[in-house]
Structure 1
C-alpha cells in the first residue's frame, strides 16, 4: 500500500541503453549488448524529505535524476508522482503540469546558463515556457522572489548581469532560483555544490535546507560525497552499478553500514572514518566495473568469498536490518 506522504515513488525502475555494434556485427547477425544504467531500483521520497543518492561516478545516480525529470525514458518499471503514473507520459504539452511540479538543479551552473541571457531572462525562462504568469509585473515579482529565496539580495542588482559577471556561488544560486521560480514540489539536485569552494558549499546547502523547511519541499540530492549526504539528508540510498545496495537513515548508513560497498565508501572518507572508528583505511581499488558487463557478486569484504558463489547464482534481496534500513547483501545481519 503506497504511503500517501510519498510524493515520489520508483518501482523496479530500469533503464537500458543499447550499444552500437560494429560493421561485422550487423553482417553476421551478432546480438548487440546494452548498458544497464538502472537495474531494478525501488525508491521513495516523502514531502519535505531530503533523500541523498550516493555512489561512485557511473553508478547510475544522474540517470535516475534524468528519469525523474523526464529527460530520459525508462525501459521498465514505474515512476509514480503524487500517486499518478508518469512512466509513459511524453510530449511538451502533456508534461507541462509535471514540469511545473518537478525541477532539476544541474551540476555545472556555467553550462546550465545561456551566456547570452541575463540573470532575469534565465530565471524567467521557465515561467514563460510553462505559461505561468499573465503579465510583466507578475513575472518580475516571481523572478525577484526566486532570486531572493536563493540568497541573491537585493535581486534587482542581478537582473541585468550576465553569467560571466557572476562568481561561481552566484551562478549556482541563479540556477537554484531558476528551479524555485515555478514553485515546484520536488527538486532533483545533481551534485549542486561539487564545483564550489567549501565556504560557498555551506551557503548553498543551508539555502536548500531553509527552502525545505519553509516550503515543505522534497529534495533528491545526488552526490558522490558521503559526508555531504550525512550533513544534509534525512535518508541515504547507496548505489552501485545501477542498483540501490543499501538504504536507511543518514546515521545508519554512515555510522552503521551493513553492505561491504557502503563500508568501503565510509572507510575511504577520513572525516567519517574517524567518527566511526580509527582502524586501518581499506581503500577502494580500481574503477567501477562496466555497466555493459556487470559482474555477479562482489569482493569488497574479506567474508565475501563465503557468499560469492551464492551471489553468482542469485542477486541478494534487500534484507531488513532495522527500522527503514535495508541492505542487499547475503552477509547483512
Structure 2
C-alpha cells in the first residue's frame, strides 16, 4: 500500500509555449499567442503510490512528465519535491541530487538506447554521470542488480549485447533497468508499453508493480489507455487540453466516471459481450481544439455529447463527487 506522505506536489502548474507571430501581427500590434500545453494542474503523488495520467494525444500528459523530470521548464505554478521548491532549479550540478531520485522511462525504447553502446554501458551511464559508484566492482554489482530487478536474468548474459540484438520487451526492460540503477524514489513512465505486444505488456506492467512493492517507489504512469491505467494505478487523473477534468481512485474513474470525457474514453475501448450498467454516451464529435486557441468557458463543450448553456461561458470547477473523487463538470453530482 502507498505511504500517505507526498513525495511530489504540483501546484497550479502551467507550461505555455510562445508562438512567433508573423509580420502583419507585429505591424498591427496583435498580442503574442501561446500553446497552452499545461494550463493549471494540481497533483500530489504519495510515496509508493502509482498514479496514471490519462488522455488523448495533445492533452499535456508528456509535458507534465517532462516538467517533473526537469526536461522542461514550467511557465507558472510550482513543483515541490518532499516540500522543497524545485521549480527554478537548473544546471547539471544543481540537479544532480534531484536526478538521482527522479528518473524517466521513455516511450520508444529503441530510440532511448544508444545503438553503439552495450547493455552494460547503457545501464551504467547514469551511475557514472551521477557519480554514484567508487570503483568497477560497485559498478558491476549495481548494473547486475538493476538488470535482475527489471527481469533480465542472468544479468551477465546481457552485458555485451547491443540494442539491435534484443527483442522489444528486452529493450524496454533495459530502459527500466537504466532508470532503476540509481535507485530513484519516483519514476515517470511515459507510455512504456504502447509499442509492445499484449503479452509483453502484461510482463512489463508486472515488473513495475513488483518494483513499487519492493522499493516503495512512486510511479507516474502516462498512457492514453484507460483500462491499462486501471490495471496498474492506485489513482487515475484524466487530462483534457491541458486541464485535469477528473481524478479519483482507479475503480471510481473506470467504473463510475462522472465527467463526459472520461466516459467517452472508457466507451472508446473495444468491448466483448454485454456491458450492463455502463454509462453510455454518444461518440465524441470532431477533433481536440487547438491548445493555441483554447475555447472560452468549458474547453470540452464543443465535443461534449451533453448540452448546457453555462458551459459556453464559464469554466466548470472541480467538485467532490465521492471520496477523493473530483470532477470538473457542471452536471457532475
- TM interval, short-chain normalised: over 0.9
| 1:276 to 1:99, Cα distance in 2 relative to 1, 3 A | farther
Per-residue CA distance 1:31-50 (angstroms, 9 max, x = gap):
22100001110001101110
CA distance, structure 2, for counterparts of residue 283 and residue 290 of structure 1? 20
**How far is 1:294 from its partner?**
1.0
Aligned to 1:112: 112
Per-residue CA distance 1:112-131 (angstroms, 9 max, x = gap):
01111111111101011111
Per-residue CA distance 1:248-296 (angstroms, 9 max, x = gap):
0001001100011111111111349955636767322332111001113
More helix by share: 1
- Structure 1: which 5+ residue stretches go unaligned? none
SS state at 1:305 partner: coil
The answer as to whether partners of 1:268 and 1:284 remain within 8 angstroms in 2 is no
- Structure 2: which 5+ residue stretches go unaligned? none
Per-residue CA distance 1:304-325 (angstroms, 9 max, x = gap):
422x3x2333211110011110
SS state at 1:93 partner: helix
CA distance, structure 2, for counterparts of residue 64 and residue 273 of structure 1? 36
Aligned to 2:235: 235
Per-residue CA distance 1:45-76 (angstroms, 9 max, x = gap):
10111000000000000000000000010001
* Matching of residue 79 in structure 1 with residue 79 in structure 2: yes
SS state at 2:307 partner: helix
Aligned to 1:45: 45
Matches within 5 A, 1:1-333: 5-271=5-271, 275=275, 277=277, 282-296=282-296, 297=298, 298-302=301-305, 304-306=306-308, 308=309, 310-333=310-333
Q: If the length of structure 2 is used for normalisation, what is the TM-score?
A: 0.95
**How far is 1:190 from its partner?**
0.2
The answer as to whether partners of 1:227 and 1:272 remain within 8 angstroms in 2 is no
The answer as to whether partners of 2:263 and 2:280 remain within 8 angstroms in 1 is no
